[in-house]
Structure 1
């Protein structure tokens, strides 16, 4: 069942602009505290979207290995304690402090599986940096494997790490401090977002799925792969959106996602711009301040307001790997108007599949003049920013419902500050964007359907 009705060359650029109920459980003797952000689904299904352990209810003052009963169940802390001092970065009054090769692990399973796990982390006091990893077990703790990337804690200010898991069934997790010796790190707000391989709740299912609501339902535009050797067309499934990341450019080639009623809720904008520590080891991580003074905004690919069902969903959009340097007036006016229009289609009873990307090099921001790169050359300033929106009335079997008469909105804007604020002035054909980028944007559709909908300019 799918979720519905939920509060779930420069010449080419010039030519284009003219042509165009799951629950988290512990053993019966250990009650589980759920931060429930669930929504009713058409039919009877409900998804519990988050499990959150804040470590506020337990006490442990020594590093020696011991079990601690917390609101979610029993956890084992080894070379770890529950810190309460002013030097312990924390949300609330407590957080877990790890030293040496300390571990923090569940003694119970979550039965909802996990799409992502997020934690808050920081170094203790003035300690040096340390690395930590997330490990997962699907056999009740008999064996574990690392999931997601290794994270480095180097600041005493709390940051958020998001680990992509995408596993169903019974799981338990363990955080392991792997480097740093006697340096200490603090962990807080351990959150699990449940996994449903039949639908996506507020986010979008795993990349490549042909399931309704999946991020790549309309296809993989550039044939991106998960091989790190393919570093300029590297496929990344970040649960709430999927992207082709370009290591050389320091930004996505394209990003693809779904927006339905379940994607839109009441979660506030988190504004926690941050480096994406989930990139492959050794890749440059664009930081929150990398665009500072450049005259360009940190322009979202997948917008924050398209992901307001949960805090985790919203925070995922503030990874710097989801940004491009965007002229302020383009970002804050033209593009914002287009994004708002897309969400208005959803609230009017539709669901939309969105692909956004950029190409070219050289834009004009608020400082004037053409800029080709920012962040000491680590991030390319694109010349054009584009978007394709496939619009469907709420329903099921979405891919088969796309026909030659389906509304498709394609927009291609120059990345300049003197842009017209009316996005409709930049409508074009999907085919023209394909010609500029070399992508096959709606490749999952029959060729006859592509030929029909990709050659029309939206006029509604």
Structure 2
């Protein structure tokens, strides 16, 4: 065989090898650093703080703080399909929570105090089921709220959260008081009266994952809800809690570090 033919065959062989490795490199899967994070099915409850006792009810979870005789947080998933069910009538069957090992606050603690038994998990969020509704009246789900606050802007916020759930299919909600040492108390069990309350909402539906927080003083407030909107990060700084710690760090930072009032229909 002539040398020039051999040379051509060698060049063709080399060209085929180069093409093969080029295709392998360009079709290789993305490296772990650039791949989209794999998200869990749900965010899970907040990180347990201090000596709180975790109480698992049928449709919500709470962290009971014995020192202050109320929950540090209540966590639940609010689903549109349940909100669309015909509501059950509330029976206001306030009662002690038998699942709190140290004993929860009692109904008599609030009597004559001037404070409402303020729901952390709103009764209206669970009115789709008689059993679920009844569980919202455990005293472990109550916190002393000024009547003008509980029946005013706090109620307005609760209604807005239900509207958001109907718009976005479902939301994850964390609600609680801002507790500290030296607070005024009510009743024989010394239930602390919080100066502030917070609510944190996570829309965990792709592609527009987003979060928002609210902090409100326990008093009569005026103004739009957007006035009290803050980042989830800022609520964590205020409370010392880590709400969605089970999510990938980068994703958690993204939804907790900023808010867009336009996406929540709160802009003027």
Partners of 1:335 and 1:423 within 8 A in 2: no
Supply the distance in 1 between the matched residues of 2:201 and 2:229 (Cα, whole angstroms).
11
**Structure 2 counterpart of 1:271, from 65, 69, 92:** 92
Higher percent of residues as helix:
2
Residue 94 of structure 2 contacts residue 139 of structure 2 at CA under 8 Å; is this kept in 1? yes
* Greater than 3 Å deviation, 4+ residue runs: none
Residue 450 of structure 1: which of 241, 244, 252 is its match?
252
Question: What is the CA distance between 1:408 and its match in structure 2?
Answer: 1.3
Which of 220, 231, 246 in structure 2 is aligned with 1:429? Answer: 231
Q: Deviations over 1:111-137 (max 9, x none)?
A: xxxxxxxxxxxxxxxxxxxxxxxxxxx
Question: What SS does structure 2 have at the residue aligned with 1:443?
Answer: coil
DSSP 3-state at the match of 1:456? coil
Question: Within 1, Cα distance between the matches of 2:186 and 2:82?
Answer: 32
Asked if structure 2 preserves the Cα contact closer than 8 Å seen for 1:361 and 1:372, the reply is no
Residues 302-328 of structure 1, C-alpha deviation per residue, up to 9 Å, x if partnerless? 110110221110000000000111121
**2:32 — aligned with what?**
none
Q: Which has the higher contact order (CA 8 A, sep 6+)?
A: 2
RMSD: 2.3
Q: How many residues align?
A: 222
Per-residue CA deviation, residues 384-436 of structure 1 (Å, 9 max, x unaligned), is 1001111245xxxxxxx4x7x522121011112x3225332111111111111
Match of 2:161 among 333, 336, 342: 342
Q: Which position in structure 1 is the counterpart of 2:113?
A: 294
Inter-CA distance 422–273: structure 2 relative to 1 (3 Å threshold)? farther
Q: Establish whether residue 406 from structure 1 lines up as the match of residue 209 from structure 2.
A: yes
Partner of 2:172: 353
| TM-score, normalization by structure 2 | 0.76
Aligned to 2:199, what secondary structure does the other structure show? strand
Q: What does residue range 24-173 of structure 1 map to in structure 2 within 5 Å?
A: none
CA contact (8 A) 2:97 2:103 kept: no
Q: Which has the higher strand share?
A: 1
**What displacement does 1:299 show?**
0.8
Normalization by structure 1: what TM-score?
Answer: 0.45
**Contact 2:109 2:186 survives alignment (8 Å):** yes
The 8 Å contact of residues 299 and 331 in structure 1, kept in 2 or not, is answered as yes
- Alignment partner, residue 223 of structure 1: 48
